[in-house]
Amino acid sequence: MSALRESAILPTMFDTNNHNHTISRWNAEFTNAETERAYHQHVEADVAAFLALALKLWAFLLTIFAWPDWLALGNSPAFYTLLGLRMSHVALLLGLAFMLPHKPHWATRGWPVTWVAIAGYPLFFAYPYVLPDNGVFGLAIMMMMLLSVYVFVPNRLNLTNLIALTGFAMVVLNVIIAGGNAVEIILVAMVLAWPIAIGFAAAQRINIGNRKAFAALLAAEDANRALADEIAHRKTLEAELQHQALTDPLTGLSNRRQYEMLFSHELDRYRRHKTPLALGMIDLDHFKHINDEHGHEFGDQVLRTVGEALQAPLRNCDILGRFGGEEFILILPETSLDQAVIIAERMRQALRSTAIIKDGHTIQITATFAMTEVCEHDKNIGDIIRRADDALYQGKHAGRDRVMKTAAA
């Protein structure tokens, strides 16, 4: 985010790396209408609450200033004329104040408070005719009002300018109508221009400061979202890397690192709870012939298809991994040897029913299975694999495409 370059009165513009956050130097609003609407929605409730309080205070001050009128005019038609104008404006101020909780968007829209403020000018316009000797007092009141409407009444800066310039024009017109000479007109205009200029500078700094804070908030939210996206991306990448580290890249089955880790966990559970645990070896029949006749690319396709076919009959808790080449390893938690043979037979049948088409011809894929059960004297997975591998060797010599079983000696 670039810094805001500003003079004492007119900040040039605020800009992040996004042009949507540019702030106009003249009306102290975002040049992008969508960003300005978002700002209004963000501050709407707070602005409405503050504006309602300011309007009530304004109404209170107008009411208590009826007392000086009484002291100056007494029980006269002039007093009641001023009182009627005063109380009409008080009614408008209070009416808007009590409407704002129900219509808070009126506060950020700006026009309701603008018209209510302008509606109070007839009271000050009437003062020189009712109390001609109090011109200096009336002028001081107008100066205070012009400054206050900029500083204490939250509104859009261009609408506050409209309120101030309307009051300025009415006072100057009043002096002209009263027969003031050029010097008096210029003097009054200069006196009123002072609170307008000061009020404009103060309101401009307040409005731009608020929008700078909002832009900083948006930038922080963007940064947080970007950080959250980056964290999510890193987590996804980490999960993908972990997946790649634990799976066989060709078949997507567990690789040696993963199935040995999972087997170690199941072996601990077997020793603690004495639940049965079976392990099997699977070797595809005549796979070398497939590679030699159809090429290694087709052989890889066969291995992927075989992996899917072998996985289909298994439970969620069962573990199927690629042992190497055309060999697979099967770990069956809470499964006895007889149950493991039944599961292996289902897998063998599923593989036989898997059609692999090559050049219009169906290639039959079979496998030999050897199942064994973990026993007390098995120290690690290597002991069990050796036992299953011996049974697998016997199955190959017995004609392949079958399920063999072997119990611990």
User: Which residues are identified as catalytic?
Assistant: 326
Among candidates 97, 101, 110, 195, which has minimal Cα distance to 160?
A: 110
Classify residue 56 as exposed, middle or buried by CB count within 10 Å of its CB (0-12, 13-18, 19+): middle
Q: Phi/psi at 273 (nearest 5 deg)?
A: -110, -5
Structural tokens at position 137:
């007092």
Q: Coil, helix or strand for 252?
A: coil
Q: Do 96 and 55 touch, CB atoms closer than 8 A?
A: yes
Structural tokens at position 95:
């009416």
Among candidates 144, 132, 130, which has minimal Cα distance to 62?
A: 144
Among candidates 244, 368, 360, 361, which has minimal Cα distance to 306?
A: 368
Among candidates 35, 157, 111, which has minimal Cα distance to 103?
A: 111
What is the rounded CA–CA span in Å between residue 203 and residue 214?
Answer: 16
Strand order in the sheet with 319-324: 319-324, 327-333, 277-284, 367-373, 403-406
